[in-house]
Amino acid sequence: MRLSPLAPALLAATALVLAGCAPADSGSGGETGAPVPVAIITSETGPLAAYGAAYLNGFKAGLDYATDGTGTVDGRELDITYLDDAGDPDKAVTLAKDVIGNGTRIIAGTASSGIALALAEQAAQNEILYISGPAAADAITGINEFTFRSGRQTYQDVATAGTFIGDPSGKTVTVFAQDTAFGQGNVAGVEAVLGAKGATVTSVLVPEDATEFTPFAQQVLGSGADLVFVAWAGATSGAMWQALSQQGVFEAMPVVTGLGDVSTYGAYGEASEDISFLSHYFGGAAGTDAEDAMIAALEAGGHEADLFSPDGFTAAQMIVQAVRDGGDTVEGMIAALEGWKFNGVKGAYEIRATDHALIQPMFQARLVADGSGFVPELVEQVDAATVAPPAAG
């Protein structure tokens, strides 16, 4: 198991020393009937609240599924505490310290990569189990032996985009993005994933304050790329997609971007049916028994399946597995998860033992008109092995 250094900013977090919290019973079954405290730390308010809601709704559906509706594992209640990080790493760390100090040794959640990295540091310092949620940063994989993830990572997104051109070797990929840390990060990601497979990666980066996108769309068209990867965020998205349409980019070359949550399906305007989407998940994509159960549970609660619903569902399955086969020791829980293969919402999953990457299928999708709006439609399921990240280490 590789132990990776964290960023210096994260190393500034003060270690919390826990005295006398090691369990007396190191057997696999734990203390008979004793509740198992679990803390779920994610955004219920703040900029990532919608992602947090999807995760939490999925988690509750997954908990019901994995425990056959009992909320217990071998007769032991899972005592779940839900905590709001509000998208703030400092708050998340404080919450984690509090629950760890009270004896909690299982924490899961968060959609923020910055928060996930900070909680991973706490997990290592205090030797507790941490299962990251939708946070996508590749650095979470392999960061330490105590940290797992229940969602996908950036590598899997970019590798899925690459499946639209088959073998990337000898192909040209142009990244169209804003000239921000987010956009530059996507350029770096595409270079790391598709560039490593032989693609030539170029970029057209747009100033963040730009309001006229025609010249940039013309640059994209002039690139003659075999694939255009768009990474965009914010209020100018509609105007950007319109410029690509007006300049004939969609007729000249495939354009790929990530399919977001349900609220974004109407954001692409007239380009909606011309874009190819890589997808982590959308409702109905997988056609599995677990997905059917999740969707039924969500609908019963007045919710719908969304982008990060499976991440919560999977986290619940992982917690149940850790308690069922790992007993009361964190070491046992880690061993119960490493190498575990299981069926979940998206299909067959595997937790890679060497670095805790979550190997899982991904999807190609398109948007199709549905009344006055658009809904996603499956193009193809991408095999888990095809988009598996290289082992960290």
Quick check: helix, strand or coil at residue 237? helix
Report CA torsion sign: 233, 239, 245, 247.
negative
pLDDT at 149: 98
Does pLDDT of 234 surpass 80? no
Does pLDDT of 30 surpass 50? no
Task: Specify the residue for token string 């991440």.
Answer: 311
Does pLDDT of 154 surpass 70? yes
For domain 156-279+363-387, which architecture applies?
3-Layer(aba) Sandwich (3.40)
Taking CA atoms, 367 is separated from 205, 259, 285, in Å, by 26, 9, 13
What does pTM read for this prediction? 0.88
Which amino acid is it at 134? Answer: P
Does pLDDT of 107 surpass 60? yes
Rg for the chain (alpha carbons), in Å? 21
Rounded Cα distance, 74 and 19, in Å: 29
* pLDDT band, residue 32 (cuts 50/70/90): low
Residues 6+ apart with CB under 8 A from 271: 241, 242, 244, 245, 250
Quick check: helix, strand or coil at residue 369? strand
The mean pLDDT of 130-138, rounded to a whole number, is: 95
> In this predicted model, what pLDDT tens digit does every residue of 163-204 receive, in sequence order?
999 999 999 999 999 998 789 989 999 999 999 999 999 999
Taking CA atoms, 90 is separated from 6, 85, 182, in Å, by 16, 9, 22
CATH fit for domain 21-152+287-360, picks 3.90.226.10, 3.40.50.720, 3.40.50.300, 3.40.50.2300: 3.40.50.2300
* pLDDT band, residue 214 (cuts 50/70/90): very high
* pLDDT band, residue 15 (cuts 50/70/90): very low
Q: What percent of the chain has pLDDT over 70?
A: 92
Sheet holding 200-206, edge to edge: 200-206, 172-178, 227-231, 255-258, 276-279, 362-370, 373-382
pLDDT at 233: 76
DSSP symbols for 273-300: GG-EEEES--TTSS--HHHHHHHHHHHH
The mean pLDDT of 79-83, rounded to a whole number, is: 98
Domain map (residue ranges) of the chain: 21-152+287-360, 156-279+363-387
Indicate the Cα dihedral angle 288, 293, 296, 302, nearest 10°: -110
Question: Average pLDDT, whole number, for the chain?
Answer: 91
> In this predicted model, what pLDDT tens digit does every residue of 332-379 receive, in sequence order?
999 999 999 999 999 999 999 999 999 999 999 999 999 999 999 999
Do 21-152+287-360 and 156-279+363-387 have matching folds? yes
* pLDDT band, residue 269 (cuts 50/70/90): confident
